[in-house]
A and B are shown apart, each in its own frame.
Chain A
Amino acid sequence: MSEHVEPAVPVDPKNDFLVLDDVHTHFDMGKTLLTRESKGVVKAVDGVTLTVKEGEILGLVGESGCGKSTLSRTVMQLIRPTSGRIFLEGKELSALSDTEIRKERINFQMIFQDPYASLNPRMTVLDTLSEAIRTRHPNVKGDALRSRVAELLRTVGLNPNQMKRYPHEFSGGQRQRVAIARALAPEPKLIIADEPVSALDVSIQSQILNLLKRLTREMGLTMIFISHDLSVVRYIADRIAVMYLGRILELGEASDVVDHPLHIYTRALMSAIPRPDPTSEKTRSRIVLQGDPPSPMNPPEGCNFWPRSPIEHDERMKHEEPVLTEIRPNHFATNCPFCVQAAAETVPA
């Protein structure tokens, strides 16, 4: 690898809808009480370059602690990046002041994992949605406001005569629908959904997935969909980014990433998904990763996957940092010869 590396994923802040250019989000753990030594830095997001096209659903996959939630909060500017730039429709979000960003945030909204915690229990659905609508249309009042709320509820498949109810009067799936309506209320262009179906039952999960997919198509929204479950992401996303220890290991069209994964980690994630078929499930061989991901406070040098990789890495790759490279057309993976080579050799499961 040469000294200077060209950015492997081409970014064009002027024309692309959402651009993340070498984003780092680090958390300083502070200093020890007496000796004033640094306790270390958690590199939650450690150099992510991504573009999201308008109208696209980007799936962001990874285990807990890989930084996918921090990345989404960095895009929302709820956490400011340590370095790197973020552009939405050519406007540099990371350069805006807190007041400006608050005005801008009606253009990008978030749906959280836990619909029990993300709705105010003391506000009726009408109050919650009215407040959200008035962030964009401050002068809408009375019947006009009410009819907008009713329309929103209908969009997400709820009955408008339930608008006077409180969150606790709804089931988990319905509550997630209210949370989706709240995210849609300011008429955003970008939605970030952070594990929106992980807390739901399988049968409810598919209803919410269908709804999210339908809404993005009909309303021309762009979405970043975060999940640890590749089978869910495969269904909803157009492109998939696989994240590990704050970095992107693989990026490509959903069908390419799922059907022809390049990185051994992606393959391991897929092989960990249990299949509802007793015979093949009891006989097939799986790539079972050992242990947990290492701490992002002290990430391994070089190819950050080597301590858990089933393929032994040589000394060079334990020190040299691999780069996200276009290996097949529009299909990127880190150019670690061990991780990517190994994936190619493993027989497709």
Chain B
Amino acid sequence: MALLEVKDLRTSFYTRDGIVRAVDGVSFSLDKGETLGIVGESGSGKSVTCYSLMRLIPEPPGRIDGGTAMFDGQDLLTMSKKELRKIRGRRISMIFQDPMTSLNPFLRISTQLIESLRLHYDVDKKTAINKAIAALEEVGIPEAAKRVHNYPHEFSGGMRQRVMIAMALITEPDLLIADEPTTALDVTVQAQIMDIIKKRQEDLGTAVILITHDLGVVAGTCDKVNVMYGGRMMESGTAEQVFYEAKHPYTRSLQKTIPSLQTKGEELYTIPGLPPDVSKPIHGCAFYPRCPYPKTGKPEGDRPSLVEMADGHCYADCGFCDSSAPIETVLPKSDSPDEVEQAGAAE
């Protein structure tokens, strides 16, 4: 049985300006020890998906409209607050993007590190502190015994993110959700942080959900990848399937925008237009207005659902575009992205 099985998750925000369908029917599953990458641009719904699983959506205006999230036989979306508290921080932990705002600046690191330990397990303070020191050593903080009593501002950005990881893993959770854990950090520190997460995962057999917009980070760490766009999954499969046999035009366009893949001197490929406005109903394929592939018609009606192509490799096929064409030949020379953006903004 899968550790986490999410089926048809829907989360909306009910605002004065209308209903924003941030997550609009997302399903995936995750086994013990596996790493799942969720990739997408800002506003694609990747963070809201994970916040929904942790029930961290502010209600109101947010509301989980439907779906199930079975974690080890229990539905995270319907369980009581009391039951949820036993799981949050103990069996599922989360690392947030910005380590400065997610640590309490008034409390010593030690206080914050042992809080979840003391809450969930029957340990005295001294044992807990010793565990905290061991956890800091594990993530590579020098002089951990001394630094455990420091305040967050006494650490650098990379160090703070390491403290966050130590804090998330101190209860040895079954599932770790990392929301853009390295986006605010330098590349060198990013490499260190990803190594730490990988190593701890191997030691403890933790399953990881990694949310990011960086396809490079996903390639090195994830077993499975979900590509999200406009609140839905566009493509999912193993990392190899999504990187080498990408089917969906959006996945292929996203890969094409990575600067390191392009030859020097050539103009960078850009996806024309803007991501869809999820506060308005989307008909047909959400990516249709920006899709660079030749089409035989305009998709109408319901949004296409995920179809399994090969072993575990799914993609949302609208049926109108020929995504088998090699991307180099179909992409228009990107000399007019500005005008398309204008058109998108003027609407």
Q: Is the CB of B191 within 8 A of A277?
A: no
Given A202-B257, A235-B262, 6 other A-B contacts at CB below 8 A?
A231-B260, A234-B259, A269-B188, A274-B216, A281-B216, A291-B140
Neighbouring B residues of A161 by C-beta, 8 Å? 346
Neighbouring A residues of B341 by C-beta, 8 Å? 157, 173-174, 207
Is A210 engaged at the interface, CB distance under 8 Å to the other chain? yes
CA A157 to CA B273, docked complex, whole Å:
12
Is B130 engaged at the interface, CB distance under 8 Å to the other chain? no
Q: Is the CB of A162 within 8 A of B264?
A: no
Q: Is the CB of B219 within 8 A of A277?
A: yes
Interface of A, secondary structure class, is helix
Neighbouring A residues of B264 by C-beta, 8 Å? 234-235, 254-255
Specify which of B188, B216, B259 is in contact with A235 (CB 8 Å cutoff).
B259
Is B243 engaged at the interface, CB distance under 8 Å to the other chain? yes
Neighbouring B residues of A63 by C-beta, 8 Å? 186, 188-189
Q: Is the CB of B219 within 8 A of A158?
A: no
Stretch at the interface among B2-10, B49-57, B154-162, B315-323: B154-162
Q: Could you say which interface size class chain B belongs to?
A: 35 or more
CA A27 to CA B345, docked complex, whole Å:
44
Interface residues of B in 250-272 (CB under 8 A from A): 253-255, 257-262, 264, 267-271
CA A93 to CA B331, docked complex, whole Å:
47
CA A271 to CA B190, docked complex, whole Å:
12
Q: Which residue of A lies closest to B262 (CB)?
A: A235
Which 9 pairs show the lowest CB-CB distances between chains A and B?
A157-B338, A274-B216, A281-B220, A231-B260, A206-B268, A278-B239, A272-B187, A272-B191, A276-B215
Knowing A203-B254, A292-B156 are in contact, say whether A228-B187 is a contact too (CB < 8 A).
yes
Kindly name the residue among B218, B259, B269, B274 whose own CB sees the greatest number of chain A CB atoms within 10 A: B259
Is B240 engaged at the interface, CB distance under 8 Å to the other chain? yes
What string of 1s and 0s marks CB contacts (under 8 Å) between A137-158 and chain B?
0000000000000000000111
Is B195 engaged at the interface, CB distance under 8 Å to the other chain? yes
A162: min CB distance to chain B, Å: 7
Q: List 15 A-B contacts (CB under 8 A).
A: A63-B189, A158-B342, A159-B342, A162-B346, A202-B41, A202-B213, A206-B270, A228-B187, A235-B259, A255-B264, A274-B220, A275-B220, A276-B215, A278-B244, A292-B189
Knowing A162-B345, A268-B188 are in contact, say whether A292-B219 is a contact too (CB < 8 A).
no
B256: min CB distance to chain A, Å: 9
Is A209 engaged at the interface, CB distance under 8 Å to the other chain? yes
CA A157 to CA B340, docked complex, whole Å:
9
Neighbouring B residues of A269 by C-beta, 8 Å? 187-188
Is A103 engaged at the interface, CB distance under 8 Å to the other chain? no
Interface of B, secondary structure class, is helix
CA A201 to CA B258, docked complex, whole Å:
11
Neighbouring B residues of A228 by C-beta, 8 Å? 186-187
Q: How many positions in chain A have a CB within 8 Å of any CB in the partner chain?
A: 52
Q: Is the CB of A276 within 8 A of B261?
A: yes
Is B192 engaged at the interface, CB distance under 8 Å to the other chain? yes
What string of 1s and 0s marks CB contacts (under 8 Å) between A203-234 and chain B?
10111011101000000000000001111101
Is A15 engaged at the interface, CB distance under 8 Å to the other chain? no
Is B308 engaged at the interface, CB distance under 8 Å to the other chain? no
Is A171 engaged at the interface, CB distance under 8 Å to the other chain? yes
What string of 1s and 0s marks CB contacts (under 8 Å) between A86-130 and chain B?
000000000000000000000000000000000000000000000
Specify which of B188, B189, B220 is in contact with A278 (CB 8 Å cutoff).
B220
